[in-house]
Chains A and B, each alone.
Chain A
Amino acid sequence: MTTHAPQTAQSVTLPASLDEAVAALSAMPAAVPVAGGTDLMAAVNKGLLRPAGLVGLGRISELRGWHYQDGHALLGTGLTHARMGRPDFAALIPALAASARAAGPPQIRNAGTLGGNIASAAPTGDSLPVLAALEADLVVAGPGGARREIPVSHLLAGREMLAPAELIGFVRVPLLHAPQVYLKATGRTGPGRATASVAVVLDPARRGVRCAVGAIAPMPLRPLEAERWIASLIDWDADRGLAPEALAAFGEYVAAACIPDPEPAADGSEPPALPPAVLHLRRTVATLARRALGRALP
């Protein structure tokens, strides 16, 4: 006596392997994969999403850990934020661990996964600037055991998309054996979404500094010129220390690159000044970048 389609009509599959999950998605194209559900279920509760079927990824044990492959770690996308925040993981990829610890309250960190953070691609996603700075690649699984790799930045920028029935299986992250820092600014002391976040990683083998700024644009921004300039100042064979002025200049450089001044008008008149809130955001990015680099260097 109700117009509501009962729950049993909804298809829920719980595959045990990545290929089974891909097969389940191929068999039912309208189904939606779900891992921690921290974003998906919020959308369902708001009535924004009514999935015809769900493919639960929680039982795929190969996705819940990581393994090593030629100087890289292949991180399963089912890793929870809570797992990534633990000390053994922090010893491998410190910035990703720091971003996982900063990603919301414990309830969210226990459920939310690395893959979900990438797939949701929220501008405030905490792992995203770290993955962008690490230049991580995504290992995408397709039907018939197919695997292809796409850079995380290509997916976030929409240059390459996931095809139907494809799943992000692993994230390939280089093991750099050098300091990495993730810092975020929020509106409160308790857990909150970032107003701005900065990841800085050092790559001593390539004598590079890589930096990404999150939450201020739809995807993480990379200030490439600022990275090259500061890397050229660092004495990679000695203690790598920098003067405070250089750190401050790096912060300003990053901030100006991510939040540029308005273009001068065509008629040569003064461009309008940035509004105070934007100036504050730029100052926040500069401070975060300066502090992050300062903590990454001795």
Chain B
Amino acid sequence: MSNDAATESQALDGPRQEPPALGLGASLPPADARAKTEGTFPYAADLWAEGLLWAALLRSPHPHARILSIDTAAAAEMPGVRAVVTHLDVLGDPSYGRLVADRPVFASDVVRHHGEAIAAVAADHPDTARMAAAAIAVEYEILDPVTDPEKAFEAEPLHPDGNLIRHIPLRYGDPDLMGEVVVEGLYRIGRQDPAPIGAEAGLAVPRPDGGVEIYTGSTDPHTDRDLAAACFGLEPDQVKVVVTGVPGATGDREDPGFQIPLGLLALRTGCPVKLAATREESFLGHAHRHPTLLRYRHHADSEGRLVKVEAQILLDAGAYADASSESLAAAVAFACGPYIVPHAFIEGWAVRTNNPPSGHVRGEGAMQVCAAYEGQMDKLAAKIGIDPAELRLRNALATGDILPTGQTVTCPAPVAELLRAVRDFPLPALPKDVPESSWLLPGGPEGAGEPGAVRRGVGYALGMVHMLGAEGADEVSTATVKVHDGVATVICAAVETGQGFSTLARQIVQETLGIEEVHVASVDTDQPPAGPATHGRHTWVSGGAVERAAKMVRTQLLQPLAHKFGMSTELLQITDGKITSYDGVLSTTVTEAMDGKELWATAQCRPHPTEPLDESGQGDAFVGLAFCAIRAVVDVDIELGSIRVVEMAVAQDVGRVLNPAQLATRIEAGVTQGIGTALTENLRTTRGLVRRPDLTGYALPTSLDAADIRIVKLVEERDVVAPFGAKPASAAPVVTSPAAVAAAVRAATGRPVNRLPIRPQSAVVTAG
């Protein structure tokens, strides 16, 4: 599929040169592709050390309860058990958190969500550890859980910090203005789980100096190290986080809640300790996408031009703050979408509940509002009686327009161009030339679908997402490039999560130094920090650092030659390991020029600073924005309410294509994750208890659910402030595709479709 899509997109843009085999623009495959395909790639769950112990966590069976007593005696006495730790054994800070330290390492007096850690055990066998954890006697006084975020405002505080994590009242323009046409809607977004395909795992190894090394698939090793060290009561340099193979990450992985118990057990026992989470623990422990309730009122003139948007957005943060503040900022700032809105009044809240924890999952905040504002645009189009795509075009944002946060859009914003590209792409053919028995109907190949009951619908959505950390976050990454013996090595603490950073790093060095063989070193916290692998940070910030370091090496390499021949280094070029001058007079090989020396350079990249949103939601909070347009085509069995996404046509603003094949897979993966958000992925709870924490109950898209994904246009308008002009590409389709699917189901059924994932009963059309 990816090759088709890539060729098609090129065909649409007219003839293009043969893509290069190396460097930027090449479809370089990942270096670890073969090992991953053959099953020899070492993931964190494969780690082993001589004499290792196994850890197990005791997790709360209740969403909200007071802990009256914890008795570990029975567990500690079990044969094979080497250590049992509880909150009493946390020698440093009892709590941790990225922005606010509000989450206890182990619950001491109160448990605030189903699955919260209370104690950990190390034993000589995983079963012994699990049985010992189960043998810890905890006496609970069960409390009423607060599971409705709307009730969190009035409820007794669930935490000493109170139930309101953040409130942003964005005010922009004239509040009293009214439009000629007004549409209202209430939207609900469910709880998506990042469902990493490999569950959390790690190994902690004590060091003779009293420190500890933690081997795990962390996506933000330096922050994790600092938080863990503070809880251990150690200096940061006594703790080392070594990143091992990351088995998929669309959110944070192996966060401190996992590493701290592991490290504590290793420090306590003096032995290596391994922890491999079960799928159930994985669902209970890690952060989910914020379930969100959104109430909207759009005002427009009779031509469909937006006049004012009013919205209330309520994010269910779960028991702890985590990244909720950032998610809320994105939700509020992008509440109106990539449209020109002269007046906007958006109130956003993130509140504490006893539901499963919420945190960073890609496209957070922006995805939830996209589903809602696009629902509003469909409603408005229906009320005014114009085509939904036309209505969107009339309001499309462009470079130079102002967001409701007061920030001017300075980067390329080819919103209308993207929408026209998907709108004008030919619709998929109906399967009328194929025998009816081989049609893939909603419900699947052995499903109950009946052609007579199937309606096809076409829907559009436009999405936007910010890149890099927002609101004054210090974005910085450091990279080192080393060249020796014709081989280059990149050392950078940017974690390869599957997003493709290490492939890009190799391409950047190939491009700059003309060296084919480039290795990317593995990551640990002895290297300078590169920031978390989120918000497309590494394509931009770490990629920028690698480029600078490579350029410095280039200068070191060419300076002596240039000096010798009396020309500047700019007149020399390196290709295929050869250095030639512009006039072809000088020609030598890189190896010769190196003369056995080793060249090193280290550089930093720090994009321009941003500022926090002020008390009325105003401020230049974002470094960059990326846009996406998707046209969804769905088939709905209107009697059963079963839905099949037939095709997703995607046009995306990517700045510059650095690796066509990798870009296509990122977009396809994002769109498919969005189909999951739209149709099946929802971690259901009953009064705070997670009902089915397994992959049977939590339905991820399979290959039959994944649509035919057509990348119809990649707009390459370079973003001048970004290194290479490239925009990170993973999050924009995640944000946009659920809204597009909902719009298409709306078109097929005429039903409002205001809840994601779309339940079958919301897609049924009853007679009369």
Contact = CB atoms under 8 A, between A and B. Distances in A.
Q: Do A and B bind each other?
A: yes
Contacts of A189: 440, 442-444, 447, 642, 644, 702, 704-705
A96 interface: no
Interface stretch (A151-159, A264-272, A283-291): A283-291
A2 B640 CA distance: 54
Max chain A CB contacts within 10 Å: which of B446, B680, B705? B446
Interface in B445-481: 445-448, 450
Given A3-B80, A284-B640, A185 B701 contact: no
A4 B761 contact: no
A189 to B, nearest CB: 5
Nearest to B704: A190
Interface string B318-351: 0000000000000000000000000000000000
Max chain B CB contacts within 10 Å: which of A1, A189, A283? A189
B420 interface: no
Given A3-B125, A46-B278, A47-B127, A188 B705 contact: yes
A186 B125 contact: no
B37 interface: no
B130 interface: yes
B761 A277 contact: yes
A254 to B, nearest CB: 14
A101 interface: yes
Contacts of B127: 4, 47
Interface in B612-638: none
B679 interface: yes
B760 interface: yes
B703 interface: yes
Nearest to A4: B125
A280 B641 contact: yes
Contacts of B759: 280
Contacts of B448: 183-185, 287-288, 291-292
Nearest to A184: B448
Nearest to A192: B699
A192 B447 CA distance: 10
A276 B761 contact: yes
B130 A47 contact: yes
Contact of A191 (B80, B639, B702): B702
Contact of B760 (A105, A183, A187, A291): A187
Interface residues of A, number: 32
Contacts of A292: 448
B402 interface: no
B417 interface: no
Contacts of A35: none
Nearest to B128: A3
Nearest to A3: B80
Contact of A4 (B78, B128, B642, B703): B128
Given A47-B127, A192-B699, A193-B696, A186 B764 contact: no
A153 to B, nearest CB: 24
B128 A184 contact: no
Contacts of A191: 444, 702, 704
A1 B124 contact: yes
A188 B125 contact: no
Contacts of A279: 761
B446 A102 contact: yes
A3 B130 CA distance: 12
A47 B704 CA distance: 31
Contacts of B679: 187-188
Nearest to A99: B446
Contacts of B444: 186, 188-192
Contacts of B445: 101
B391 to A, nearest CB: 30
Nearest to A50: B127
Q: Is the interface of B mostly helix, strand, loop or mixed?
A: loop
B300 interface: no
B447 A185 contact: yes
A291 to B, nearest CB: 6
Interface string B107-138: 00000000000000001110110100000000
B447 A184 contact: yes
Interface in B494-543: none
B280 A46 contact: yes
Contacts of A102: 446-447
A3 B761 CA distance: 52
Given A2-B125, A280-B760, A280-B761, A188 B702 contact: yes
A291 B450 CA distance: 8
A2 B642 contact: no
A55 B80 CA distance: 30
B79 interface: yes
A134 interface: no
A102 B639 CA distance: 20
B640 A185 contact: yes
B278 A2 contact: no
A98 interface: yes
Interface in A130-155: none
A185 B702 contact: no
Nearest to B126: A4
A198 to B, nearest CB: 8
Max chain A CB contacts within 10 Å: which of B78, B447, B679, B680? B447
A170 to B, nearest CB: 25
A2 B447 CA distance: 50
Given A2-B124, A4-B127, A190 B446 contact: no
Nearest to B127: A4
A2 B644 contact: no
Interface in B584-636: none
Max chain A CB contacts within 10 Å: which of B78, B80, B444, B448? B448
Contacts of A47: 127, 130
A120 to B, nearest CB: 13
A185 B278 CA distance: 30
Contacts of A193: 696
Interface string B743-768: 00000000000000001110010100
B446 A98 contact: yes
B197 to A, nearest CB: 15
Interface string B640-660: 111010000000000000000
A106 to B, nearest CB: 11
Interface string A44-55: 001100000000
Contacts of B680: 187-188
A94 to B, nearest CB: 12
Contacts of A101: 445-446
A129 to B, nearest CB: 13
Interface of B: 78-80, 123-125, 127-128, 130, 278, 280, 440, 442-448, 450, 639-642, 644, 679-680, 696, 699, 701-705, 759-761, 764, 766
Given A188-B704, A191-B702, 20 more contacts: A3-B79, A3-B123, A4-B124, A185-B447, A185-B760, A187-B679, A188-B702, A189-B447, A189-B642, A189-B702, A189-B704, A190-B701, A190-B705, A191-B704, A280-B760, A280-B761, A283-B639, A288-B640, A291-B448, A292-B448
Interface of A: 1-4, 46-47, 98, 101-102, 105, 183-193, 195, 276-277, 279-280, 283-284, 287-288, 291-292
30 contacts: A1-B124, A3-B78, A3-B123, A3-B124, A4-B124, A4-B127, A47-B130, A102-B446, A102-B447, A105-B702, A184-B447, A184-B448, A185-B447, A185-B642, A186-B443, A186-B444, A186-B447, A189-B440, A189-B443, A190-B703, A191-B702, A280-B641, A280-B760, A280-B761, A280-B764, A284-B641, A287-B639, A291-B448, A291-B450, A292-B448
Which 5 A-B pairs rank lowest in CB-CB distance, beginning with the nearest? A190-B702, A3-B80, A4-B125, A102-B446, A280-B761
